[in-house]
Each structure stands twice: as structure tokens, then as C-alpha cells.
Amino acid sequence: MASIEPKNVAPVMFGLMLSLFLANLDQTIVATCLPAIAGDLKGWELMPWIISAYLVTSTATTPIYGRLSDVYGRRRVLLASIALFVLASALCALASTMLMLIGARALQGVGGGGLRSISQIVIADIIPPRHRGKYQGYMSGTFLVSTALGPVLGGFFAEHVSWQWAFWINLPLGALAFGVIDWQLRKLQLPARPHKIDWMGAFLILLAATPLMIGVSRVEEANGWFNAQVGLPILFGAVATLALIRWELRVAEPMLPMRLFTNRIYTIGNAALVAPSMVMTAMIIIIPLYYQAVLKWPADEAGPRLIALTAGMAIGSFFVGSAISRTGRARIYPIGAGVVTASICLLLAWRGLGQSLSFDIACIGGLGAGLGCQINPMLVIVPNGLEIRDIGAGVSGMTFFRSLAGAFGVAVFTTFLIGRLGAGAALVPGNEELGANAGVGLLRRDMDGLFNATQAQAFQSVRDHAFSMTFVLAACLALAGVFALFLIQERPLRANSGRL
């Protein structure tokens, strides 16, 4: 089969960016519409599952797509993912009850898992590792645009049209992505020989990942990890994971080859990717919380400053990608960026936010740039260390671990923060007024009028200290990613993709 010519790389990248734009936009645009959806469908108690249903299925199916694309070809599987995502979007828009919407969102997540996974695999197919960082920077730019545009569109639809348009908008965008991918990926090589599908492996992946994601998503609701509704799903997922490992070691063509984890670059490289991915996702939650809980700023004043984080990530990813293409070296950048990320986190732990607009933008933007420069090179280093036959399964596995890290990041950081808040509040007289969970109570702005000046000042100190320690935790994780990189040897970046 003929290869993709250099002149056609740009149209292919446009299609891949559209695919990722669909997946990223969907999360941010729907999040803004949640109150309108819950009010219209009369399901406030089920509102969190509108997000969780998508997150669970999109993460759980990610490693399966890599193997399917190895068997049936990237183009076919990506087109099927787009079609499923668009169909599910229409079902979401037509849903008349919360349960129908949640079911449609779960189906939409199955398609979304393919959009993220196969897009990254195709980049690994057509772009040599030496030049891949630059194109990963373009993907980060797509993330920035979708993150900034999603809340604006979601708010407009919810207030002036209807929340259903948060899903209808996926139809024309999906049709455009489908057409571009269908045309441009026809020349991408198909599998050279027939393969068998390890359907039992696929089932065990779902059986392991789904309860893990459900358990993690319940941590905040259950007020900690030591709760049956958190611990039992995680325990079930752990047992299923052991069964998955045992099965995959026995079959000839496993869905998730265990030999990947004997590759030092793959195993340790994923650990170096997981740490900053946890920090990145957590900061998207923690920074707005800091503004609203500690500084008492309204959401519309705190939210726009978060744009500096995503803008910094996109800019950092683009520039480090270009540097990798010029120098052919990748490991040095996440090492330096991890140190910068940790330093900024420690500065925020010491000084806090709200000093001045310029200070906040510099710190938040610098934090985003550091995370971008830490994450982007790993998307080059890890695939570069794989054999060509393992690119599909390896890259989809990497995407899976990154998504799982995001979910764990939110759970770990919010649980840590609430735990520190609760421990500090317990030492202040009158903490009973905060409710059964004092940590959550300190995050509520409507509790302040219940206390005298001395108590209010004591609780404010507790908030300051808890958020400071949370930033210290972020610094430690950023440095953990740096430490992991010293455990792997840098391998020269391949000058060709090996697939064309």
C-alpha cells in the first residue's frame, strides 16, 4: 500500500485534530450545561454521572482500540469511532430522561475512547519520532482551543438556545472529520498479515478498568478512599487486573501484550508521564477552588485566569516539540520542565495566588508551560522505545494510563485537600457548625457568616495551609516524574516512522 506523501500530512493532521477537538470540546461544553440538563430532565442527584459515564467508558475502551486498529487498520477503526461518537451525540440530544442521557453518554464515551487513542496512533504511524514533538504541540493547541471555546459555547447554548445543542454541534463537526479521515487515510498501510482478536482480553480490560474508574470517581462523594462504595469497586478491578495479566500471558496474540512492560522505556516512561498528568488534571480543579474558597472570588472572576494554564500548556508543548525536531533529543526537556513545575508549585505553596494579576498569570502560565514541556516529550520518548509491531497497542496503552492518571489525580488531590482541611478544622472550636464533613464545609462560601472574627480567621489559616500542602504534593509528583526519567537511557529518535 502506498505511503502518505509529505504534502498530505497537513490534511491528515487537520482530520486528527478535528477528531481530538470533538472529544475535548464535548467534555468542556457539557460541563457548562450540567445545571440546565439536570433542571430540564429533573435529575439533580444523577448529574455527576453525565460526566462519569463518559469518562469511564472512554478510558476503559482506550487500550482495546489499539489492538483493533492493528487488525483492521487505523482508518476503519477511527471512522467507526467517529460514527459511533456522532450517533451517540444524537441520542444524547434526543434523551428525555436522565437515565437515557447517561446511557447515551456511556455509548458516546466508547466512541470518544477511539478518537483519542487512534489519533495518537496515526501520528506515531506517519510522523517520525524526530519530528513528532512539533505535531504533538499542534494537538496541544487543539486542546487549548477546545478548553477555551467549550465553556463559552456551553453557556451560550444553555442560556439562549437549549442544552441539546451541546450535542447537536458534534454532528457537523463529526461529518467533517469523517470525510477528511476517510479520504486522507486511504493510503495508510493496512495490516500485513491476518490477526486474531483476543476478545476475552478485551472483556477483561473492561472488567478491570470500569470498576477502577467507578471507584475513583466516587472518592469525593464518599468523603475518602476508605469507604465500601470506593474500596469494593477498586478491589474488584484489582482482581480483574490479575486475571487479565494471567490471561494475556497465555494467549498468542494478546489484546494488551505483557511484553510491553518488559520494555524499560515503556514501563518507566509511562510512570514519568502519569505523574505530571495527575498534576495537570488536578490543577484544573484546585486553582479555581483556591480562588473561590481562599480568596472568596466569584466564579466568573476566577475562571478566566485558568486560561493561562491551558495557554501555557499549548505554548510549552509547541516550543518543546519544535526543539525536539531541531535537536533530535527529548529526555532533557521533561527533566528541566519538571524542575520548573515543582519550583512554581513550591512558590505557590509559599506565596499563594491573588498577589497581583501579573503574578498570577506568570505563575499559572509558567505552571502550564512546565507541564506541557514535561508531558509532550513523553509522547515521543515512549513510542520511540517500542518495536514497530507494538506501536498500536503501546500508544493506546499509554493513552489509557494517561487518562487513568487524570482521574486518579483529581481523586488524590481533592481527597488530600479535604483531608487536610478536615484535620485543621477539627482543632478550631466551633467546627461542629461546618457539618459532618468539616473539610467540605470549609470549601463552602455560605458558611462564613456562622463564625465570629477569631473563628473565621482560624478557619482561613486552615484553608491557606491545606492549599499550600496541596501545592507541595504537586511539586513532589512533578519531581517524581523527573526521577523516573533518570532511570531510562535516552535512545536516538528514529528518522522514519517505520510504518510507511
The more confident residue out of 281 and 500 is 281
Of 303, 283, 307, residue with least CA distance to 409: 283
Helices (H), 303-437: 307-327, 332-351, 357-375, 378-384, 391-425
Structural domains in the chain, sorted by start: 1-197 (1.20.1250.20), 263-500 (1.20.1250.20)
Query: What is the C-alpha to C-alpha distance for residues 111 and 53, in angstroms, rounded to an integer?
Result: 12
Contact of 318 with 373, CB cutoff 8 Å: no
Residue 500 confidence (pLDDT): 42
Contacts of 494 (CB under 8 A, 6+ apart): 128, 129, 130, 384
Query: What is the C-alpha to C-alpha distance for residues 225 and 219, in angstroms, rounded to an integer?
Result: 6
Query: What is the C-alpha to C-alpha distance for residues 480 and 459, in angstroms, rounded to an integer?
Result: 32
Query: What is the C-alpha to C-alpha distance for residues 95 and 53, in angstroms, rounded to an integer?
Result: 15
How many residues belong to the chain?
500
The residue to which cell 451560550 is assigned = 156
Of 464, 470, 471, 474, residue with least CA distance to 425: 464
Query: What is the C-alpha to C-alpha distance for residues 255 and 67, in angstroms, rounded to an integer?
Result: 6
Residue 1 confidence (pLDDT): 36
Quick check: 499 pLDDT over 60? Answer: no
For 401-458, how does the pLDDT look when each residue is reduced to its tens digit (9 = 90+)?
Answer: 888 888 788 778 888 888 888 888 888 887 777 776 777 777 765 565 677 778 888 8
Please give the grid coordinates belonging to residue 108: 458516546
Quick check: 281 pLDDT over 90? Answer: no
For 309-321, how does the pLDDT look when each residue is reduced to its tens digit (9 = 90+)?
Answer: 878 888 888 888 8
Average pLDDT over residues 286-292: 82
Query: What is the C-alpha to C-alpha distance for residues 322 and 316, in angstroms, rounded to an integer?
Result: 10
Residue 282 confidence (pLDDT): 85
Contacts of 258 (CB under 8 A, 6+ apart): 245, 248, 249
The residue to which cell 519538571 is assigned = 338
**Whole-number Cα distances in Å, 430 to 9, 462, 463:** 64, 14, 16
Residue 343 confidence (pLDDT): 97
Residue 371: φ, ψ to 5°: -65, -40
**DSSP three-state, residue 256:** coil
Q: Sorting pLDDT into bands at 50, 70 and 90, what band is 6?
A: low
Query: What is the C-alpha to C-alpha distance for residues 233 and 216, in angstroms, rounded to an integer?
Result: 9
Q: To the nearest whole number, what is the mean pLDDT of the chain? A: 82
The more confident residue out of 52 and 17 is 17
For 455-481, how does the pLDDT look when each residue is reduced to its tens digit (9 = 90+)?
Answer: 888 888 888 999 999 999 999 999 999
Residue 329: φ, ψ to 5°: -115, 145
Residue 70 confidence (pLDDT): 78
Cα atoms in the Cβ-side hemisphere of radius 13 Å centred on 245: 7
